Chains A and B, each alone.
Chain A
Amino acid sequence: MKERYYAGFMSKQPAWMRSLPMLRRRLFAYVVDLIAIAYLTTVISFCVNAIAYDFKDFVLLPWWILLVLSVEAAALWESFGVSPGMKLLGIRLVDVSRQSRGSAIIRRTVRFLLWHISALPLIGFLFASEDGRRALHERVSHMRMADADELDRDLRPWYRRGWFLSILALAIATLLASALYTEVDFYAFFTGASRTGKWWAALLTPDWSIFVKGFRYLIVTIFTAFLATAFAVAVAAPLSFFAARNLATGVGRRLAYTIIRAVLSVVRSIEPIVWGIIFIVWVKVGAFPGILALFVHSVADLTKLYSERLESIDYGPVEAIQATGARRTHVILYGIVPQIINPYLSFTIYRWDINVRMATVIGLIGVPVIGQLLYQYTQLYRFRQVGMLMLLILATVWIMDYLSGRLRARLE
Chain B
Amino acid sequence: MLAFLADWMMWGYLAYAAMYLLNAYWYTMYVNWYGTLTLPVWGWPLVVIATFELTVLGHAFGQTPGQALFGLRLLDQNLRPPALSARSRYLTRWHIEPILKLFRRNSKRHLDSSHAEMRLVDEVKDLMPAAKPRKWYKTHRGIMVVALLVATFWVGWLVTEIDLPAFFSDAPRAGYMWKALFTPSFEHLLTPEPVIARENPSMAPIQTTILGGIIESVFMALLATVVGALIAFPLSFLGARNIMGFSPIGWSIYGFMRAFFNIFRSIESILWAIIFGIWVGFGPFAGSLALMLHTIAALGKLFSEQVESVDPGPLEAIAATGARRWQVVVYGVIPQITPSYLAFTLYRWDINVRMSTVISLMGGGGIGRFLFFYKNSVGFIENNWNQVGAVVWTIVAVVWTLDYISGRVRERIT
Contact = CB atoms under 8 A, between A and B. Distances in A.
B299 interface: no
Contact of B160 (A287, A361, A398): A287
B162 A182 contact: no
18 contacts: A58-B206, A182-B283, A183-B284, A188-B279, A193-B279, A216-B36, A219-B159, A226-B152, A269-B354, A269-B403, A273-B270, A278-B177, A282-B170, A282-B174, A286-B163, A364-B361, A365-B361, A393-B267
Which 9 A-B residue pairings sit nearest by Cβ, starting from the closest? A178-B219, A56-B204, A216-B34, A269-B399, A287-B160, A182-B284, A397-B266, A282-B174, A223-B156
A55 B357 CA distance: 24
A186 to B, nearest CB: 9
Contact of B223 (A179, A188, A287): A179
B342 to A, nearest CB: 14
A265 B400 contact: yes
A48 B160 CA distance: 53
Interface of B: 34-36, 69, 152-153, 155-157, 159-163, 166-167, 170-171, 173-174, 177, 181, 204-207, 215-216, 219-220, 222-223, 226, 262-263, 266-268, 270-271, 274-275, 278-281, 283-285, 287-289, 354-355, 357-358, 361-362, 365, 371, 375, 388, 392, 395-396, 399-400, 403
Nearest to A276: B358
Contacts of A268: 403
Interface of A: 55-58, 174-175, 177-179, 181-185, 188-189, 192-193, 195-196, 199, 212, 216-217, 219-220, 223-224, 226-227, 230, 265-266, 268-271, 273-274, 277-278, 281-284, 286-288, 290-292, 357-358, 360-361, 364-365, 374, 378, 386, 390, 393-394, 397-398, 401, 406
Given A181-B215, A269-B399, A394-B267, A378 B274 contact: yes
A288 B162 CA distance: 5
A175 B263 contact: no
A394 B159 contact: no
Contacts of A181: 215-216, 219, 284
A220 B20 CA distance: 14
B88 to A, nearest CB: 32
Nearest to A292: B167
Nearest to B287: A182
Given A188-B285, A365-B361, A397-B267, 8 more contacts: A178-B222, A181-B219, A182-B283, A188-B281, A219-B159, A220-B160, A223-B152, A269-B395
A274 B395 contact: yes
A23 to B, nearest CB: 24
Nearest to A364: B361
B156 A227 contact: yes
B135 to A, nearest CB: 18
Contact of B170 (A265, A266, A283, A357): A283
Given A185-B285, A282-B177, A398-B262, A361 B271 contact: yes
A220 B166 contact: no
Contact of B171 (A58, A282, A360, A361): A282
A224 B152 CA distance: 11
Nearest to B168: A283
A192 B396 contact: no
Main SS class of interface, A = helix
Nearest to A228: B160
A193 B171 CA distance: 48
Nearest to A222: B156
B255 to A, nearest CB: 15
B64 to A, nearest CB: 16
A227 B266 contact: no
Contact of A174 (B222, B287, B399): B222
A185 B222 CA distance: 16
Nearest to A177: B219
Contacts of B35: 216, 219
Nearest to B400: A269
Nearest to B220: A182
Contact of B206 (A57, A219, A287, A390): A57
Nearest to B202: A183
B392 A270 contact: yes
